[in-house]
Structure 1
Amino acid sequence: MATRRFTFFLSFTFSIVILTVYIITTHIYNHQPFLRSSPNPLFLKPDDQIWPELEFNWRIVLATVIGFMGSAFGTVGGVGGGGIFVPMLTLIVGFDTKSAAALSKCMIMGASASSVWYNLRIQHPCRQVPILDYDLALLFQPMLMLGITLGVALSVVFPYWLITVLIILLFSGTSLRSFCKAIEMWKEETLMKKELERPREFVNSRGELLIDTYEPLIPKEEKTPMQIFLFNLRWKMLTALIVVWAAFLALQIIKNSLVVCSTSYWAVTIIQFPVALSVFGYECVKLYKESKKRKNTGNPESVCEAAIDWTAPHLMFCAFCGILGGTVGGLLGSGGGFILGPLLLEIGVMPQVASATATFVMMFSSSLSVVEFYLLQRFPIPHALYLMAVSVMAGFWGQFVIRRLVAFLQRASIIVFILSGVIFASALTMGVIGVDRSIRMIHNHEFMGFLEFCSSQ
C-alpha cells in the first residue's frame, strides 16, 4: 500500500534525523562545556509578551486579507492554515511567537466551526449517508489528541532549528504527495467526463443500431435544509466525541495547575493514554465487526468512506498514523490537520468527505487549545474576537464557493489541489522564518542542542 510506504518513509526519515542530531549535539556539547552555559532563551524562559493595539491601519488590513484567504482555503483543504497564520501574526501584526500561536488556534477554531455548520447543511455527493464520517472522526480524534500532547512535550526539548528542518521535510513531502494525488484524480475525472460525453450505442431487437445521447434519469429524493441538517447529525457519535474532548480538556487544565515533573503531573499525563485507547479500541471493535459481518453476507459496500478493509493490521496502522500525525502536529504547532487531511485521502476517502471530516476533527482539537490558552491568558480578547469573526466568514464562504465550483466543473480534485497549495505555502513561510531565526541564534551563540524537559518549562 502506497500509504504505508509513504508514512513509514516519513517516520523513518524523522527518526534518522533526530537520532543523528542528538548524537552530534551531545558529542559537541560534551566536549565544549562553555556552550552548555549558554541556554536557549526561546525555551528556558517565556518570550516577552507583545500585544499590539487593535487599530485600523495597513497591518490589520493586510492581516485580514491574508487571514481570510488562509482560512477559506485552509478549511476547504481540511488543514486549517496554522502554517500561514503564525507567520502573518508575527511578521505583519507584530505579536510574539506564543501569542501568535494561540491566536492562530482561535482562527482555526472559527473557520472550522463555520465550515462544519456549512457541511451539516449539504448532502453527501453520491451516497445516502452523512457528509461527516463520524466513524473516522471517532477513530482518529483520540489518537490525534494523544499525539498532540506528546508533540507539545517534545517541542520543549527539541532545538528550534531541528523543528524547522522537520517542518520543511514534512510539509514538502505531504504537499508533493497531495499534488501527485490531485493530478491522478484530475486525469481520472477527465477520462470519466469523456466517457460520459460519448454517445452510447446499442442494437434493438430488429438489429438496428441506436445511439443513446441522454443520461438515464435517476430520481433523487429532495430534502429540505432542515431535513439534511438533522440527517447529518448523529447524536450518539457526536456525544462520544464531545466526551473525549471534555476529558482531554479537564486533564490538560489539571496538568497545567501542577508542578512540572511532579508525581501528580506524570500521573495526570499517563491517564490520557487509557482515555484515548479506550475510545479508539471501542471504535476499532465496531469497525472490525461491521466489516466482518458485511464480508460474511457478501455485501461489498464499505463500512465507512475509507476504501480499506478494516482488519486488525489496518486498524493498528490507523492508530500509528493518528499518533504520528498528532505528535508531528503538536511538535510543529500545526494541530495535526496537515497530517489528517492527506491521510484521509490516502486511505480512499473522497475529497469532499475528507475535507468535511478533517475540519470536523480539527474543530475539536483547536477548540481544546483555545480554551486552554484562554485560561492561561495567552491572547488578547479583542484581537481574538476580530480574527475569529474574519475566519468564520472565510470558512463559510470558502466552502460555499469551492463546493459550487466543484459541482459546476465536476472535479473534486480541485479540493486536493487546494490542500497541496496550502501545505506548500505553509512550508515556504514557516521554513523561511525558521531558517532566519536559526541563523540569528547561531550569530548570538545561543544553545542549539536538545534541552531537558523538566528544566525547560
Structure 2
Amino acid sequence: MPISTRRFVFYLLSAFSAVILSAFFLIYQPSFPSSSSLSSSNSLSFHSHPRYGSGPDPVWPELKASWRLALATLIGFLGSACGTVGGVGGGGIFVPMLTLLLGFDTKSAAALSKCMIMGASASSVWYNLRVPHPTKEVPILDYDLALLFQPMLMLGITVGVSLSVVFPYWLITVLIIILFIGTSSRSFFKGIEMWKEETILNNEIAKQQATKANSRGELMVGTEYEPLIPREEKSPLQILCFNLRWKRILVLMIVWVSFLLLQVIKNEVKACSAWYWVLFCLQFPIALVVFGHEALKLYRDYKERVATGNPESMCEASIEWKAFHLVFCALCGILGGTVGGLLGSGGGFILGPLLLEIGVIPQVASATATFVMMFSSSLSVVEFYLLKRFPIPYALYLTSVSILAGFWGQCVVRRLIAILKRASLIIFILSGVIFASAVTMGVVGIESSIRMIQNHEFMGFLGFCSSQ
C-alpha cells in the first residue's frame, strides 16, 4: 500500500480519535437529561439525526411554485449531478439547502436528502451499466470491491447512527470540518498528480502521431491509426448484459434486505432491551460473512497470481491482497460507515477517496462508489417511508430532479473526459463536492452551536439508552 495512502488514513484516524478524546476531557456532565425529555425527539430510524436540533413536530412546507423552490431545484440539480459523478452523493449540500432555503425541519431534510441521493445514484448506475470499461474487457462496476466494502459500510452506518444521538452537536460540526476538509484536500492533490500524468501521456501520444510517416516518407500529421487487433464494438444491450453480474447483485440485495428487516424490527423494540441488543448484534455476522467470503476470494486470487506469475488481477485495486490489507479495508469500511452515519451521509465521502487511494481508476471508482451508495440510500428511504418521515409530493419532485441530474451529469462529464482525455476531472469534482459540503455544513453547524451556547442549552454527551 502506498505511503501516501497510509498517511492519509492515519490522518483520518488520528483526527477522529483526537477530537473524540478531547471532547471527553473537555466536557463534564454530572447528569444526563431524563429519558422523558428525550422521548419527544427520539428517532430510531436509519440515518435519522436528532442532533440537528429540530423540534418534535415536522415542518413540511407546501409544494408550490416560488423563487425559493426554483433556486432549490437548481442547487439540487447541480449537487446531484456533481455528487454522483464524484461518487459522494451530495447530502452535505442537500440538508442545508432544504432547511435554510425551503424551511424543512432538519430531520425531514435528512430524509428528503436520502431520497435525492437514491434517485441520483440509481440513474447514475443505470447510465454506468450502459458504458464499457475504459481500458479492460471487464464490467465498469467492480463487484469485488462492492461486496468487500458494502456490508462493512452498512454495518458502520448503523453504528454511527446509534452514536449520532449521543454525540453533542458542536462535536459533530468539528468532525465535519476536519474530515471533509482532509478528504477533499487529499483528493484535490490526487487530482493534480493525475492531471500531470495525463499531460505527459497526452504529449507523448501527440508526438508519436506527429512523427508517423507514410510509405513514401511524407509526414502524416493528425492521422489516426487502427490497432492491429481492433476492439470489438458492442451494442448498448450487449454492454448492459456484460456489466450485469446477477449472482453478485443477488448477494448485495440479500445484505440490503437483511439490514432493512433488522432495522425495522429493532425500531419496534424497547431501546437497550435484550431483544434490542440481539437484533443489533445480528448485523455483525451478516456483514462479516459476506466480507469474509469476498476477502477469502481476493486472497486466494492474489496467492494464485503470485504462484503463476500472472500480474493481472480480477479486482481494480492495485494493492496486494494480503491479510493485513484485507483487515485494513474492513476497518476503513466500518470507519467510513460510522463517520458517515455520525455525520448524516452515506459514507461516500470516505469510500470515493479510499477507492482512488488503493489504485482504482476514477471512472470505476465513481461507478462503484455510486453503486454501493445506491444500496445504503435506498435502505434509508424505505425505512423513512415506513416511518412517514417525509412528504410524498416533495419526495417525488426532488427525486425526479435528482434522477435527471444524475443521468445528465454522467453524460456531460463522460463526454468531457473523452474529448479532453482527462479522467482526473472526476477527482476534481469529487474534491469540490466534499469541500462544498464542509463549508455549508460547517457554517450551519457553527451557527447552530453558537445559538445553543447563547441559549445555555446542554452541550455534552447524552446517555445512549435514554437517547435512543
Into which bin does the TM-score normalised by the smaller protein fall?
A: over 0.9
Aligned partner of 2:444: which letter? Answer: I
* 1:5 maps to 2:41: no
> Which residue of 16, 20, 31 corresponds with 1:14?
16
State the partner residue of 2:92.
Answer: 83
* 1:380 maps to 2:382: no
* 1:126 maps to 2:130: no
What fraction of aligned residue pairs are identical, expressed as a percent? 69
State the partner residue of 2:405.
Answer: 394
* 1:180 maps to 2:180: no
SS at match of 2:426: helix
Shift of 1:302: 2.1
Aligned partner of 1:296: which letter? Answer: A
SS at match of 2:136: coil
Aligned partner of 2:384: which letter? Answer: F
Distance in 1 (CA, whole Å) between partners of 2:320 and 2:298 is: 9
> So what's the TM-score if we normalise by structure 1?
0.94
Distance in 2 (CA, whole Å) between partners of 1:48 and 1:291 is: 54
State the partner residue of 1:198.
Answer: 207
Superposition RMSD on alpha carbons, in Å? 2.2
Distance in 1 (CA, whole Å) between partners of 2:447 and 2:73 is: 25
Aligned partner of 1:65: which letter? Answer: L
> Which residue of 269, 277, 280 corresponds with 2:288?
277
Shift of 1:291: 1.4
State the partner residue of 2:259.
Answer: 248
State the partner residue of 1:52.
Answer: 61
State the partner residue of 2:298.
Answer: 287
Tell me, yes or no, if the aligned pair for 1:202 and 1:210 is still in contact at 8 Å. no
Shift of 1:14: 1.2
> Which residue of 333, 339, 361 corresponds with 1:350?
361
Distance in 2 (CA, whole Å) between partners of 1:301 and 1:106 is: 39
Count residues in correspondence. Answer: 449
State the partner residue of 2:381.
Answer: 370
1:351-370 Cα shifts (integer Å, max 9, x gaps): 00000000000000000000
Distance in 1 (CA, whole Å) between partners of 2:194 and 2:210 is: 27
Tell me, yes or no, if the aligned pair for 2:262 and 2:279 is still in contact at 8 Å. yes
Distance in 2 (CA, whole Å) between partners of 1:340 and 1:203 is: 43
Tell me, yes or no, if the aligned pair for 2:153 and 2:334 is still in contact at 8 Å. yes
Shift of 1:303: 2.5
* 1:152 maps to 2:161: yes
Tell me, yes or no, if the aligned pair for 2:33 and 2:462 is still in contact at 8 Å. no
* 1:93 maps to 2:102: yes
Shift of 1:45: 8.6
Distance in 1 (CA, whole Å) between partners of 2:160 and 2:212 is: 64
* Shift in alpha-carbon separation, 1:331–1:212, aligned structure 2, 3 A: same
> Which residue of 15, 22, 27 corresponds with 1:25?
27
State the partner residue of 1:312.
Answer: 323
> So what's the TM-score if we normalise by structure 2?
0.92
State the partner residue of 1:164.
Answer: 173
Shift of 1:7: 1.0
Tell me, yes or no, if the aligned pair for 2:15 and 2:179 is still in contact at 8 Å. no
SS at match of 1:157: coil
Tell me, yes or no, if the aligned pair for 2:362 and 2:427 is still in contact at 8 Å. yes
Distance in 2 (CA, whole Å) between partners of 1:199 and 1:295 is: 35
Matches within 5 A, 1:201-216: 216=225
* Shift in alpha-carbon separation, 1:202–1:85, aligned structure 2, 3 A: closer
SS at match of 1:198: helix
* 1:453 maps to 2:455: no
Distance in 2 (CA, whole Å) between partners of 1:338 and 1:415 is: 13
Distance in 2 (CA, whole Å) between partners of 1:284 and 1:238 is: 17
Aligned partner of 2:10: which letter? Answer: F
Distance in 2 (CA, whole Å) between partners of 1:437 and 1:115 is: 34
Runs of 5+ consecutive residues of structure 1 not aligned to the other structure = none
Distance in 1 (CA, whole Å) between partners of 2:309 and 2:394 is: 56
Distance in 1 (CA, whole Å) between partners of 2:245 and 2:170 is: 44
SS at match of 2:390: coil
State the partner residue of 1:403.
Answer: 414
State the partner residue of 1:115.
Answer: 124
Residue range with higher mean Cα deviation, 292-301 or 259-268: 292-301
Shift of 1:124: 0.4
Distance in 2 (CA, whole Å) between partners of 1:298 and 1:202 is: 36
Shift of 1:17: 1.3
